[in-house]
Amino acid sequence: MSGGGLRFKRETLGVAMLLCLGSLYILYPFLDAVVLAIATSYILRFAHNRMNNKIDNNFLSSLIIITAVLGIISAGLYTFINNFTMLLSALNSLTGSFEQLVVNFIELIDLPARFRQNTESLINTLSVYLNARLRNIFEGVPGLLIHLGIYAVTSIYLYKDGGKIEDKMMEIIENLPEEERKISTSLVESINYIFKGVFVTQFLVATILGIIAGLGFYAISMISASPIPLIPIWAGLIAITALLPLIANFMVYGPLGGYYLLTGDPVKGSLILFFGFAILQIMPEVFLRPYIGSKHMNEHPLIIFMGFLAGPLTLGLKGVVLGPLILILTKEFVRDYATLVSK
């Protein structure tokens, strides 16, 4: 290729990169929805291929997948909005029960009246704060609807046209100058491999935690001599929240343990909270996820640990995907850079 042609291609590539950065800036407020949509479309294409192998009908497979996605999003949003008043009522009831429990305890150990008044004031302040937070969430429903709409539409379009987009990208990469083509091809292959590893890791961890949660709650029921109702549902919720960043599991076992503490079963409540914190919270982040991720992605456990931990802390929800992806991609690129440029 002549020097002028090579220079033109590289200038065109530079302009394209600037345009991509501009597009990223425009999409940044909705980046959580877009990144999760990319991840969802990847999973949906995998589910579509598995389903199509069984029913051998591409249209029917697509219809089932799209209907399921829209149904899950609609049902979740309807449940939240429809039960919002009940959530506020339950929160007020829980706060009242907790306040009465604390007052009875203070009276039992004969603490000063001043201390009792300060404690009641603190509980009331906390109740007002939590109610305000819930109302803020409800007032933010229009913004949530926008994010959900972007997420749903992007997921479906990428699911339907993801293969075409990938083919077009590979066609563009093939027309790049040789050096850029080597690096771009390596990046695309690495991203595809890491994406698969991240999703396999997340779903395996979620499945294992769901099973462990179910067995643990059954064991706690036996130890405390009174059953925990709906254990399969609690275990399923633990498995679902295990896909989300860091403290999502606490949103399941925390209220469950707190309920038993406040309703006169402190042994069961304490066991649930300890089991949840030690086994469902700490163990997956420190051991289970790094171990499974290192095996499936052939990476050091420390990189997996930092990616899944620091990603959500730094980037929020999108960090679940971008955290491990960026760290592993950086390591792969730095390690292979000399080989790429010397080929």
Q: Report the percentage of the chain scoring pLDDT > 90.
A: 1
pLDDT of residue 107: 62
Tens digits of residue pLDDT in 112-152: 667 667 766 766 676 666 666 666 666 666 777 788 888 88
- Residue predicted with more confidence, 335 or 324: 324
> pLDDT band at residue 243, thresholds of 50, 70 and 90?
confident
pLDDT of residue 93: 61
> pLDDT band at residue 15, thresholds of 50, 70 and 90?
confident
Range of lowest pLDDT (37-41, 84-88, 230-234): 84-88
Q: Is the pLDDT of residue 342 over 60?
A: no
Range of lowest pLDDT (127-131, 222-226, 314-318): 127-131
**CA 306 – CA 66 distance, rounded (Å):** 34
Q: Is the pLDDT of residue 91 over 60?
A: no
What value does the mean pLDDT take over residues 320-329?
82
What are the structure tokens assigned to 284, written together?
């997956």
pLDDT of residue 195: 78
**CA 222 – CA 244 distance, rounded (Å):** 30
Q: Is the pLDDT of residue 27 over 60?
A: yes
Tens digits of residue pLDDT in 263-297: 777 788 888 888 888 888 888 888 888 888 888 88
CA 246, 251, 254 angle in degrees (round to 5)? 110
What are the structure tokens assigned to 157, written together?
């379009």
> pLDDT band at residue 99, thresholds of 50, 70 and 90?
low
What are the structure tokens assigned to 186, written together?
């390596």
What are the structure tokens assigned to 178, written together?
């040789």
Residue 35: name the closest of 261, 317, 305 by CA. Answer: 317
Q: Is the pLDDT of residue 153 over 70?
A: yes
Task: Quote the DSSP letter at residue 280.
Answer: I
pLDDT of residue 75: 76
Spatial contact of 154 and 33, defined as CB atoms under 8 Å apart? yes
Residue 260: name the closest of 247, 276, 281, 244 by CA. Answer: 276
* Residue 269 identity (one-letter amino acid): G
**CA 125 – CA 254 distance, rounded (Å):** 21
pLDDT of residue 316: 76
Residue 124 neighbours by CB under 8 Å, 6+ apart: 99
